[in-house]
C-alpha cells in the first residue's frame, strides 16, 4: 500500500462548500475488535467485509469492517498499550471515534473546513493499491471524536487500501438495517450553541430543529438539543447538552461515565421496524421498556397509521407524527458496560422529525434505567 500526503489546492465551490454524499462508515475504538465484530454480526446481522492488521502491514492495531446494506462499521483495537487508541479506550470505554463522511473531493473538504476554523486531524492523504486509490482527510469535532472525509470514486477494492477481504464461514442473516439516519452527540454544560456554530460555520450545516428544556423534561431532569443538517439532508447530527433539573439527566450520566463529550447514539434506518426489532430482540439486544399507558392514547395523538398497534406495543416501539408523515422508533439499552453508547432503530413513513412527541416517555424510560444503576 502506498501513502501520499497531498499539497493544498484552491476550491471553486461557491454554494455548498462541503457537499456530502452521506455517512461512509462509523469507527468504534473497542477493547477487543474480534469479539466486537462477532457480537455485531450475531446480534445485529452484519456481514464480514474487510480486515486490517499485522498480516496486512498494520503493526499497531487491528480493524474489522462489517457491513449491512449501506451501513458500515469499523471496529478497531490497539495491539499494545501506550498509544492514542489504547488511551481513548482507557478514558472512554468502547465508543465512537470516527464519523466518516463520503465526499467527492477529500482534499477540498479539508481545505474548506480548516480555513473556516476546523481543527486539523488528518491532512489529505492518498492510499493506493492495485484496486485504485482512496483519499482521506479529517478534522476534529466535539470531545475526542473526529470526522474523516472519504473520497473513494477511484477505488474498486473491498474497503480501502491496507485492508483485505474478510471471508467467514459464519454469516448470520441480516436484520433489515439499512443506513445511518442520524448520529447524536452529547456535549457539556453550555456547549451546545458553540458546537452548533461550529457545524454552521465550519461545515455549512443548518439548524433544522431546536428543543429546549421545556420540550425535553420530566419531573426529575431536562436537556436541550439542536439538530444540525447538511444541505442535502443526508447527514444529520443532533447535539444535546444538559439542563438544570431536580436530578441528574441522562446526558450528565453519559458525560460522567464517558469522561467527556462524545457520540451518544447512532440511529439506524429500517423499512420494517417490527421485523428488525423482533430479530434484534431474538438475538439478545435489549431495548427500553415503555409503559402500557403510552399506547392507550398514542393513536389519538398521531392519528391513523398503517401498522397494527399490538405488535408495536409488544416490542415497545414509539410513534410520532409531523406535517409530512409519521415515524416509528425504539431505543436500545446501552451496548457497553458503561451507560454511554446505545442505538436507535427508526422507520420513517414520511416524517422528517425526531420524535418530539415521544420525548417524555423516552426520558422517563431512561430515568428508570438510571435509577436502577444508582445514577439518577
200 shares a domain with 77:
no
29 located within any domain: yes
CB 295, CB 309: distance < 8 Å = yes
Report pLDDT for 357: 66
Whether residues 304 and 187 share a domain: the answer is: yes
pLDDT score recorded for residue 354: 76
Residue 170 lies in a domain: no
In a shared domain, residues 201 and 158: no
37 in the same domain as 115:
yes
> Which of residues 165, 198, 223 is at a domain's end?
165
Domain shared by 160 and 194, yes or no: no
Number of structural domains, the chain? 2
Within a domain: residue 133? yes
> Are 149 and 214 part of one and the same domain?
no
On whether both 95 and 27 belong to a single domain, the answer is yes
On whether both 154 and 228 belong to a single domain, the answer is no
Q: What's 191's domain CATH number? A: 3.10.180.10
Terminal-to-terminal C-alpha distance of the chain: 50
Residue 172: inside a domain: no
The Cα 88–Cα 31 span in angstroms is: 10
Q: Say what the pLDDT of residue 8 is.
A: 45
Considering the domain architecture, whether residues 354 and 283 belong to the same structural domain is answered as: yes
Contact 92, 340 (CB under 8 A): yes
The helix-helix angle for 250-258 and 359-373 (nearest 10°) equals: 50
pLDDT value for 368: 79
Average pLDDT per 10 consecutive residues for the chain, totaling 376 residues: 49 72 98 98 98 96 98 98 97 98 98 98 98 98 98 97 97 97 96 97 94 68 87 94 84 95 97 98 95 89 94 95 93 95 96 74 74 81
Of 142, 165, 188, the residue that ends a domain is: 165
pTM of the predicted protein model: 0.93
171 in any annotated domain: no
Q: Tell whether 108 and 186 lie within a shared domain.
A: no
3-state secondary structure of 240: strand
340 and 224 belong to one structural domain: yes
Q: Which domain holds residue 55?
A: 2-165
Q: Kindly state whether residues 155 and 210 are assigned to the same domain.
A: no
Could you tell me which of 299, 300, 106 has the C-alpha nearest to residue 308? 299
Amino acid at each position: 500500500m502506498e501513502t501520499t500526503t497531498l499539497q493544498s489546492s484552491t476550491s471553486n465551490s461557491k454554494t455548498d462548500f462541503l457537499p456530502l454524499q452521506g455517512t461512509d462508515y462509523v469507527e468504534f475504538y473497542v477493547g477487543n475488535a474480534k469479539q466486537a465484530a462477532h457480537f455485531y454480526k450475531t446480534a445485529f446481522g452484519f456481514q464480514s467485509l474487510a480486515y486490517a492488521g499485522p498480516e496486512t502491514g498494520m503493526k499497531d492495531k487491528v480493524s474489522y469492517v462489517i457491513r449491512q446494506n449501506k451501513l458500515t462499521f469499523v471496529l478497531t483495537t490497539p495491539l499494545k498499550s501506550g498509544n492514542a487508541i489504547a488511551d481513548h479506550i482507557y478514558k472512554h470505554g468502547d465508543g465512537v471515534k470516527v464519523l466518516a463522511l463520503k465526499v467527492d473531493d477529500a482534499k477540498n473538504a479539508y481545505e474548506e473546513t480548516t480555513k473556516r476554523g476546523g481543527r486539523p486531524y488528518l491532512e489529505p492523504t492518498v492510499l493506493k493499491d492495485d484496486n485504485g486509490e482512496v483519499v482521506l482527510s479529517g478534522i476534529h469535532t466535539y470531545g475526542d471524536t473526529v470526522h474523516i472525509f472519504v473520497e473513494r470514486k477511484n477505488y474498486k477494492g473491498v474497503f480501502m487500501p491496507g485492508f483485505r477481504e474478510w471471508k467467514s464461514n459464519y454469516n448470520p442473516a441480516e436484520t433489515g438495517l439499512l443506513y445511518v439516519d442520524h448520529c447524536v452527540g452529547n456535549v457539556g454544560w453550555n456547549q451546545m450553541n458553540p458546537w452548533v456554530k461550529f457545524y454552521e460555520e465550519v461545515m455549512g450545516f443548518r439548524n433544522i430543529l431546536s428543543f429546549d428544556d421545556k420540550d425535553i423534561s420530566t419531573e426529575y431532569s431536562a436537556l436541550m438539543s439542536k439538530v444540525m443538517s447538511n444541505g442535502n439532508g443526508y447527514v444529520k447530527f443532533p447535539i444535546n447538552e444538559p439542563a438544570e433539573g431536580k436530578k441528574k439527566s441522562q446526558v450528565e450520566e453519559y458525560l460522567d461515565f464517558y469522561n467527556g463529550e462524545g457520540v451518544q447514539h447512532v440511529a439506524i434506518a429500517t423499512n420494517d421496524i417490527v421485523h428488525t426489532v423482533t430479530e434484534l430482540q431474538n438475538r439478545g439486544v435489549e431495548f427500553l421498556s415503555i409503559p402500557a399507558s403510552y399506547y392507550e392514547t398514542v393513536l389519538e395523538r398521531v392519528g391513523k397509521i398503517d401498522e397494527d398497534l399490538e405488535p408495536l406495543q409488544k416490542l415497545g416501539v414509539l410513534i410520532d407524527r409531523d406535517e409530512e408523515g409519521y415515524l416509528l422508533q425504539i431505543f436500545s439499552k446501552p451496548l457497553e458496560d458503561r451507560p454511554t453508547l446505545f442505538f436507535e432503530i427508526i422507520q420513517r413513513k414520511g416524517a422528517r422529525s425526531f420524535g418530539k412527541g415521544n420525548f417524555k416517555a423516552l426520558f422517563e424510560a431512561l430515568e428508570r434505567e438510571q435509577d436502577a444503576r444508582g445514577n439518577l
